[in-house]
A = this chain, B = another copy of it.
C-alpha cells in the first residue's frame, strides 16, 4: 500500500502521515525500489487508532502513551483508564470555560444592534473602565 492509499483509507492527508512518522507515532515503513513508503494492514490499524484518538481530542503525547499501553495486552488497563480519565477532566474543564464565555457573550449580544458604538453593551463589557476614566 502506498502512502496515498493509506491516506484515503484513513481520511488523513499524506503530509500528516509523514508527520506522524517523524513524530514517532508510526514506525518508518519499508521502501519500494523507487523509495516509496510501503504500508501493510498493521499500519492501517495503527493509523486508524491514532485518528480515532485524535478525534476524541487526545494530544499526540497521549496518543503515544495509549499506543504503548495498547501493545501490552496482558497488563491491567488501569493506566489506560487514567489517561482517558485525565483527558475527560480536561475536556470537561474546557466545556465549562466555553460555556461561561458563551453565557457572557449571549448576555450582551443583540441588545444594541441599532444603537451607536458609544453605547454598545459588547464594547462596554470589554472596556469597563473607559467611561470612568474618561468622564
Q: Does A92 contact B (CB under 8 A)?
A: yes
Whether A78 contacts B113 in the complex (CB less than 8 A), given A70-B126, A102-B88, comes out as yes
Question: Nearest B residue to A123 by beta-carbon distance?
Answer: B70
Tell me the A41-78 residues at the B interface (CB within 8 Å). 41, 45, 48-49, 52-53, 55-57, 66, 69-70, 72-78
Q: Is the CB of B98 within 8 A of A95?
A: yes
A residues in contact (CB < 8 Å) with B:
41, 45, 48-49, 52-53, 55-57, 66, 69-70, 72-78, 80-81, 84-85, 87-88, 91-92, 94-95, 98-99, 101-102, 104-106, 108-110, 112-120, 122-123, 125-130, 133
